[in-house]
Amino acid sequence: MKTNSDRLGLALVSPRYAAGAAGGAENLIQQWAEKLAARGHRVEVLTTCAKSHFTWENHFPAGPGMVGGVKVIRFPVNDRDTVIHQEVQDKIARAEELTLAEEEAWLDNGVTSDSLIRHLESNASRFDAVIFAPYLFGLTYRGVLAVPEKAVLVPCLHNEPFAYLEATRRIFSAARAVFFNTPGERDLARSIFPLEEERSRIVGMGVEPPGEIVPRKFTKKFRIRRPFILYAGRREEGKNTPLLIEYFRLLQSLHNPGPELDLVLAGSGPVSVPGRGRRFVVDVGYLTEEQKWNAYGAAWAFCQPSINESFSIVLLESWLAGKPALVNERCPVTLSHCRLSGGGLWFRDYYEFEECVLHLLEKPDLAAALGAAGRDYVLKNYSWSTVIEKLETALRQLA
């Protein structure tokens, strides 16, 4: 049991919390909060009343409550001018030069909460550290600048236009510390911002398998009869799922006969498959946790085509099921995972994707060895016991 002197006072700030269908950063913050609280630390989550990350409308009642054994205080979202937000976002996408005022207008009309920031400023002395995630929201920007001496930024950084804004540079410079999920994410940040070694730590998220994985339950339920490549996550352009579908369509159409292989897409979002591609692309939709793990177990390989990843939980989960991985070489984080683990292959275009798939089909022993190496990597580096020890150590060094 921790004594009072061992306990840290911690605030965790995220735009949404326990709102359903959370993104990776929100899931990370919730897991950290619950596990730190379970270890005896004084944990308080500060978040907004929003449920939808599309509308950011106030949904939950404002005020304190308990979620998963953690004190959570919700604050109303500021009124937003979506026209201004979209206008500036379009300029960012076109790589136009912006003033800091324009960048701040984009952030403030995304999502922030003045009442949350005021609460944070008046209560900062109660906390040893204030953890903010992810980086590209007005709430994080205003929060880090309000309490820089206590601020721990967990950016969940992607190689995207928003990463190169002056406002992003400001919070990376202002925060007392920056905690990264992977070495690849840290290397990306260092290529963009000056970042002193003593202010950065690699922590990450724990990934652990369930007690049992039963592949047959998945294949029987969804009537899948052939080996398959699995993708799990949001099905959208930002995650490159249309590209994966097109690559797989080409793989089947350019070979006669095509490989005895299907593509299974799990997760949220619509799936559009052109023409004859519907014969070998299977949409299983959103899966329960049990179904998801059974899908990992049933898969021949897992593919993560996204270039916008700061951790990729699904990639690490698939490795725990012993599956070889195929990742996009343009994503520094998943490429780093594969290089460090020896758990997968990477592709830059369709021809390399084809070569990777056919190579693994021809060499099943190699596929099995890659999956085993990936599993060892996750068990060594991303078990919850390892991650929470790294997190506690890093926070104590700050406090």
Length of the chain: 399
Average pLDDT of the chain, as a whole number: 93
- In the prediction, which pLDDT does 279 show? 86
Mean pLDDT of 345-355: 97
For the stretch 25-56, pLDDT in tens is: 888 999 999 999 999 999 999 999 999 988 99
Which tokens is 338 given?
């594969």
- In the prediction, which pLDDT does 282 show? 94
For the stretch 269-311, pLDDT in tens is: 888 887 776 789 999 999 999 999 999 999 999 999 999 888 8
Per-residue b or e along 353-388, where b marks 16 or more CB atoms closer than 10 Å to that residue's CB: bbebbeebeeeeeebeebbbbbbebbeebbeeeebb
- In the prediction, which pLDDT does 1 show? 46
For the stretch 147-193, pLDDT in tens is: 999 999 999 998 889 999 999 999 999 999 999 998 889 999 999 99
pTM, whole model, 2 decimals?
0.84
- CA distances (Å), 299 to each of 191, 292, 304, 324, in order? 36, 11, 13, 10
CB of 275 within 8 A of CB of 248?
Answer: no
- In the prediction, which pLDDT does 22 show? 59
Mean pLDDT of 110-119: 97
Torsions phi, psi for 88 (to 5 deg): -70, -40
Percent of the chain surpassing pLDDT 90: 83
Please list the residue range(s) of the chain that carry CATH number 3.40.50.2000: 9-206+383-398, 215-381
Helix (H, G, I), strand (E, B) or coil at 4: coil
CATH architecture of 9-206+383-398: 3-Layer(aba) Sandwich (3.40)
pLDDT higher than 80, residue 137: yes
Q: What is the CATH number of domain 215-381?
A: 3.40.50.2000
> Cα torsion at 317, 318, 321, 322 (round to 10°)?
-130
Mean pLDDT of 362-379: 97
Q: How many CB atoms lie within 10 A of CB 279?
A: 12
